[in-house]
């Protein structure tokens, strides 16, 4: 479990993290989401014990990161942003070097290197110089390095940033396969990545924590149905006729509109169904003027933008 209390970090006059508190329980993947510059890497560095906070505290499985750094860090594997790595080593030399840093017993090292290489799909590259490998493989080596001490907690800062779609997919699939066994925190600017991998999300903006919720709750806020609002110049009989040709409509409500002769209608459908083309076609067939048509749903992107825009605009 990770507990951060009232974290604060400034670089001179600039405040990177401002009074951030959260608890990350064991056994789930948590996303830390926010736009570039919102403080994600600073928090990642503080949790990993790479950077001291200017205020507040962090405990990792009950050990304070500043008072008991060795015990706290033993529970953590960390992939920093930009994947700093020694390019002039072979993959095996690099993983061996990290094993020494973690003080793994020497007899365990070959087995451990074989284990992480197998998980990360890099076994064939072990004898290769890292500088000759492509970006996706180098990122996988970085994650292998974070896993080398078999930590119960994995912190991954932008694990797929700057990678091709194919490399991104490959790494996300590997991360999904890892989530059974450990607590993971993924720092990301990509909403889609957090939605795909995480059960819980912390949203940062301007160094402040502005949301701390389950992905399920955010999805519920966005709605699990598409709700299309129409204003039609039509009678109820005409509405019934157009609806009879639209099988994807799951629910309908209608009431007289403000304009004379207008009907305000709300049509519900599954989230994957866009009713608008069907509405256009059916209304055209019946010669029904469409006065207005818009979705009432709030998308997850909009929720995210509203959350992050709120602070930027007004704080």
Ligand X SMILES: Nc1ncnc2c1ncn2[C@@H]1O[C@H](COP(=O)(O)OP(=O)(O)OP(=O)(O)O)[C@@H](O)[C@H]1O
Q: Choose, by CB under 6 A, the member of 36, 277, 313, 314 that binds ligand X.
A: 36
Q: Does 140 bind ligand X (CB under 6 A)?
A: no
In whole angstroms, the minimum distance from the beta carbon of 31 to ligand X comes to 13
Q: Choose, by CB under 6 A, the member of 7, 20, 24, 38 that binds ligand X.
A: 38
In whole angstroms, the minimum distance from the beta carbon of 149 to ligand X comes to 24
Joined together, the tokens standing for residue 230 give: 């129409």
Q: How many CA atoms lie within 13 A of 16 on its CB side?
A: 19
In whole angstroms, the minimum distance from the beta carbon of 191 to ligand X comes to 13
Give the SS3 label for residue 5.
strand
C-beta of residue 177 within 8 angstroms of C-beta of residue 143:
no
Which residues is 121 bridged to in the sheet? none
In whole angstroms, the minimum distance from the beta carbon of 83 to ligand X comes to 12
Look up tokens 């790494």; give the residue. 171
Q: How many residues bind ligand X (CB under 6 A)?
A: 13
Query: Given the complex with ligand X, which of 34 and 257 has the nearer CB atom?
Result: 34
Instruction: Using the rule CB under 6 A, give the single segment among 39-47, 140-148, 213-221, 298-306 that binds ligand X.
Output: 39-47
Q: Does 34 bind ligand X (CB under 6 A)?
A: yes
Sheet holding 2-11, edge to edge: 14-24, 2-11, 55-60, 63-64
In whole angstroms, the minimum distance from the beta carbon of 210 to ligand X comes to 13
Residues 64-123 that bind ligand X (CB under 6 A): 81
Q: Are strands 2-11 and 55-60 parallel, antiparallel or unpaired?
A: antiparallel
Q: Choose, by CB under 6 A, the member of 2, 29, 42, 145 that binds ligand X.
A: 42
CA distance 13 to 19: 16
Q: Does 41 bind ligand X (CB under 6 A)?
A: yes
Helix, strand and coil content of the chain, in percent to the nearest 5, comes to: 40, 30, 30
CA distance 87 to 133: 9
Residues 187-226 that bind ligand X (CB under 6 A): 189
Query: Given the complex with ligand X, which of 161 and 290 has the nearer CB atom?
Result: 161
Query: Given the complex with ligand X, which of 161 and 254 has the nearer CB atom?
Result: 161
C-beta of residue 2 within 8 angstroms of C-beta of residue 153:
yes
In whole angstroms, the minimum distance from the beta carbon of 202 to ligand X comes to 12
Rg (CA), the chain: 26
Residues that bind ligand X (CB under 6 A): 11, 14, 16, 34, 36-42, 81, 189
């Amino acid at each position: 479990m990770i507990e951060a209390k009232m974290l604060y970090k400034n670089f001179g006059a600039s405040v990177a993290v401002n009074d951030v508190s959260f608890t990350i329980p064991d056994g789930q993947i948590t996303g830390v989401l926010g736009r570039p510059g919102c403080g994600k890497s600073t928090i990642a560095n503080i949790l990993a014990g790479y950077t001291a906070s200017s205020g507040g505290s962090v405990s990792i499985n009950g050990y304070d990161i500043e008072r008991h750094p060795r015990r706290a860090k033993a529970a953590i594997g960390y992939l920093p942003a930009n994947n700093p790595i020694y390019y002039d080593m072979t993959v095996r030399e690099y993983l061996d070097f990290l094993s020494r840093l973690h003080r793994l017993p020497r007899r365990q090292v070959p087995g451990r290197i074989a284990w992480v290489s197998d998980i990360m799909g890099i076994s064939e590259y072990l004898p290769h110089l890292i500088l000759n490998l492509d970006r996706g493989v180098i990122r996988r080596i970085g994650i292998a390095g974070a896993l080398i001490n078999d930590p119960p907690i994995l912190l991954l800062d932008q694990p797929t940033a700057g990678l091709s779609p194919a490399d991104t997919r490959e790494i996300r699939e590997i991360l999904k396969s890892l989530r059974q066994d450990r607590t993971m925190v993924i720092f990301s600017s990509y909403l889609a990545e957090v939605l795909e991998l995480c059960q819980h999300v912390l949203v940062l903006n301007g160094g402040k924590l502005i949301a701390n919720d389950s992905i399920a709750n955010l999805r519920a806020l966005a709605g699990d149905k598409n709700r299309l609002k129409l204003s039609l110049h039509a009678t109820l009989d005409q509405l019934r006729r157009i609806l009879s040709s639209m099988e994807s409509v799951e629910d309908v409500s209608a009431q007289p509109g403000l304009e004379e002769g207008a009907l305000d209608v709300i049509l519900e459908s599954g989230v994957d169904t866009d009713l608008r083309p069907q509405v256009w076609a059916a209304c055209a067939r019946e010669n029904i003027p469409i006065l207005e048509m818009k979705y009432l749903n709030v998308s997850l992107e909009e929720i995210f933008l509203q959350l992050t825009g709120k602070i930027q605009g007004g704080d």
